[in-house]
Each structure stands twice: as C-alpha cells, then as structure tokens.
Amino acid sequence: MAIEKITMPQLGESVTEGTIEKWLVQPGDHVNKYDPLAEVNTDKVTAEVPSSFTGTIKELIASEGDTLEVGEVVCTIETEGGDSAPVEEAKPAEGEKANEMPAAGAAPTKQLEGEKGSSKPAKPQGGKARYSPAVLRLAQDHDIDLNQVEGSGNEGRITRKDLLQLIESGNIPQAGGKTAQAAGATEAAEPVQQAAPQQAPTAPAAKEESIESATGDIEIPVTGVRKAIAANMLKSKHEAPHAWMMIEVDVTDLAQFRDSIKGDFKKKEGFNITYFAFFVKAISQALKEFPMMNSMWAGDKIIQKKDINISIAVASDNALFVPVIKNADEKSVKGIGREINELAQKARAGKLKSADMQGGTFTVNNTGSFGSVQSMGIINHPQAAIIQVESIVKRPVIMQGGMIAPRDMVNLCLSLDHRVLDGLVCGQFLARVKEILEKMNKENTSVY
C-alpha cells in the first residue's frame, strides 16, 4: 500500500485558490481514477476535483468551506502497490510561488542564517515574508500584523486557516506585539495625552461594517460563487477607473426581420432566435474593426487580444455566471444563438465547466431581459469594457422631414476602463455598432 496526495488543481486562468463547497466522498470510500472527489468553487464556476488514483480515501485534509491555494493537499488516498508511508507535508506546487504576492519592495524569499528549524515564515533579506493573496486580504481586513503570526504551513508559511483561527479566538496580533484585546486594555488604562504633530498616515483600507441581525431577520450564508463575484467586482471597481457612454439605436428593421423568421427558425433549429444573438454578432464585428476595445491592462503594458471571445452574463436562481462564446466574430447569428442557448442551459443546471468560463476578452450583458432601459455595468476584470444591451422600447421618434413615427429603440450602455480606452475610440466603436444594427434587415442580413 502507498499513500498518495490529491492537491487543489489549477481550475482556470490566473486562479490561485479554490473553496471546497461539498465533499462527494468520505474516508473509507473506494474510488477509481478520474472519479469526482469534491465540488470546488472558483472564479464564478463550480468544478469537480477528480481522483488521480484508484484506491481508498484515507483522510480528508480540508473541510467543506475551506479555501485552499493551488497545490495544497485536499485529501489523501491509499493505493495498492508500494509500502505504506506517512504523507509528508505538502510542498507548494511548481509555479505556486509565482502566484504569491510579495510585500512591496520584498526581495526573493531566502532563509536567513540562524533561522533553520524555525516555525516562522522564511524571511528575505528585506525582512519581509511572502504571503498569498488570500492571507494578505484577511490580514488587511482585520488589521493583523503578520510579523507576529507563526504559520503552520510548509516552512512556517502562514495559511488562511492560521488567520481564521486567530480571528475566531479574538487574539489578533497588532503592531508592537500586542493583541487587539491587549491594545484595547492598554488604551483604556493610559491617560489621554496630546498627540505630537506628525505626518498624516496613509488612510487604512475600508472595513466591512459589522451588522447584527435582529429578530425576524434572515441570515443567508455567503456561497463560494457569491464570494468570487464579490471579490472580482471589488477588484474591478478599485483598480479600473470606470467611465461611461451610451448610444441610442433604432432597431425597427431588425425587430421586424427577427419577428418574420422566429417561427420557422424554431421549427427548423429547435431553439429560439433571440435579439441578443444579433447584438452579439454586431458587437463582435465592430470589435474586429476596433481591436483596441478588445484589450486588457497589464501594468506596464496594454495587451490587445487577437481572439474575440465574448463573455455573456447568465443568471441562475442565486448566482451569476459569465461563460464565453469563443471566436464570436467567426460565427453566424445562428451559431451565436445556439451557443447562447447551450451556455444558459448549462449555467442554470450547474453544469458549466472551467473551460466554458475562460478566455473572455469583452463582455456583453443582456440587461434588457429584466426590463432595464439604462444601466452602468461593472467591468469584468481584467477586460477593458462591458456593454449593457437594454430593453427594446417602442417610442415616437421624429424622422427626417419632421414626421413622427413609432420606432423600436434600444440603449447600448458602455462601461470602459479609462486606463486602456478613451472617449474617441469608444465613441467610434459605439457609432459602428449602431450602424451595423440599423442596417440589419431582411435584405441585408442572414442568420446562417
């Protein structure tokens, strides 16, 4: 017998951690290679962690609700063949250090002389350790001095579990070696002194307000998917300077064309041809002509993406998913419509895979399906823009010659990252989308 380790896999681009949502096995269960072991939430998608071996589940290292970094051990399996040996503590997976965020100005991690055998995190020459993004977020949210924390991870690395235990105990170490409780007691005992003039400190990060529930209130646990949505939206709003533009489009001819074919199309193809498919087609065509819109901010450079992969927002009863239509500019209206239909069904059935969510370069959101006529979307980080397609509303419009006629009008609302884009290119892009849509009719447009 041999003991093998199952680690948290890399479940998507730039994904550094995942949350165990549900275990599908228990210790003692026999599993075959590739059998699902657990459901994991990450990057707005629920994926399954498969077994890499055939054998018997020995121990579940992580509990449901635990968030682990890529490469950390989630469970162990006893397999046939070889001698039984104790499992060594998990080492970081290859490339894991690249996903850890060093403190500002920190040099590469190096254990100093005299620290061998120490349980504290290895310190670089600058005196600052390297911490994962999850650890840094928790420390910032709860004012934890990481220099005062002893880690239980490999080589004394501080893990998310270490911080959660400190938070639950209330003994949160702060600067100067004091805990939060001790600091409060000291402040109460010391007489008030006039503060000496000093340089204004940097404003601390905003904390979440502690809200107590009252009788009759309903407390709803935050799921892994909702946490991922919250983290990505917060990152987008904090990092990307948002700006907004809106354009009004007359889609009367498109509406008449779509209404004239929808019945026959449904009988022939087996799914509805929606307005949204036409909008995605027009937007992907305009993106090809204005490639700067299909870009991403990368710190010291802007990356203009070659492929046009349209992210679309799909809502289930309690979550939002953003699957991707790959190479949308190369697909017909029918092809786009089929993918929209299939991705929406998979999202609502909880069957989206990590591959369905990866590679998006620009987001189109169908807010009009809820009756919205104007909205300001939050950019889907790290993309540079998102378009909200609002409701098609019949309104009286003044036509050429002063005549008033009922027309089908729609607002397209664009949110843009002002680091990457400016008003000129965005205005030209929206004008081109308007031109394409207003020319979609029975004579000029084919769905195939």
**Domain for residue 274, yes or no?**
yes
Q: What DSSP string describes 405-427?
A: EEEEEEEEEEEEETTT--HHHHH
* The pTM of the whole model exceeds 0.75: no
Q: Tell me, letter by letter, the H, E, C secondary structure of 48-91.
A: EEECCCCEEEEEECCCCCCEEECCCEEEEEEECCCCCCCCCCCC
Give the 3-state secondary structure of residue 171: coil
**Domain for residue 429, yes or no?**
yes
Q: Number of structural domains, the chain?
A: 2
The yes-or-no answer on residue 250 being catalytic is no
Residue 367 sits in a domain of what CATH number? 3.30.559.10
**Domain for residue 199, yes or no?**
no
Cβ–Cβ < 8 Å for 396, 405: yes
Give, for all 448 residues of the chain, the pLDDT tens digit.
789 999 988 776 667 778 888 899 999 999 998 888 998 877 556 678 889 899 999 999 998 888 888 889 999 999 876 444 444 444 444 444 444 444 433 444 434 343 444 444 444 444 446 566 567 767 777 778 888 888 776 567 787 777 778 887 777 776 555 555 544 444 444 444 444 444 444 444 455 566 888 999 998 888 777 777 788 889 899 999 999 999 999 999 999 999 999 999 999 999 999 999 999 999 999 999 999 999 999 989 999 999 999 999 887 766 778 999 999 999 999 999 999 999 999 888 878 887 898 899 999 999 999 899 999 999 999 999 999 999 999 999 999 889 999 999 999 999 999 999 999 999 999 999 999 999 999 999 999 9
- Boundary-marking domain end, from 48, 79, 110: 79
Q: How far apart are CA 153 and CA 168, in angstroms?
A: 19
CA geometry: angle 81, 85, 90, nearest 5 deg: 110
Given 30, 238, 264, 422, which residue is catalytic?
A: 422
**Domain for residue 57, yes or no?**
yes
The residue assigned the tokens 């354009």 is 247
The yes-or-no answer on residue 422 being catalytic is yes
- Boundary-marking domain end, from 79, 98, 122: 79
User: Which DSSP state fits 439?
Assistant: T
CA geometry: angle 284, 339, 344, nearest 5 deg: 115
The closest alpha carbon to 135, from 116, 149, 119, 114, belongs to 149
**Domain for residue 193, yes or no?**
no
Identify any residues that bridge with 249 across adjacent strands, giving them in sequence order.
410
The residue assigned the tokens 């061998």 is 116
**Domain for residue 446, yes or no?**
no
Residue 29 sits in a domain of what CATH number? 2.40.50.100
**Domain for residue 143, yes or no?**
no
> Domain containing 56: what range?
2-79
Residue 297 structure tokens: 């901010």
Q: What DSSP string describes 309-320?
A: -EEE-EE-SS-E
- Boundary-marking domain end, from 34, 54, 79: 79
**Domain for residue 410, yes or no?**
yes
The residue assigned the tokens 């002002």 is 418
Cβ–Cβ < 8 Å for 33, 51: yes
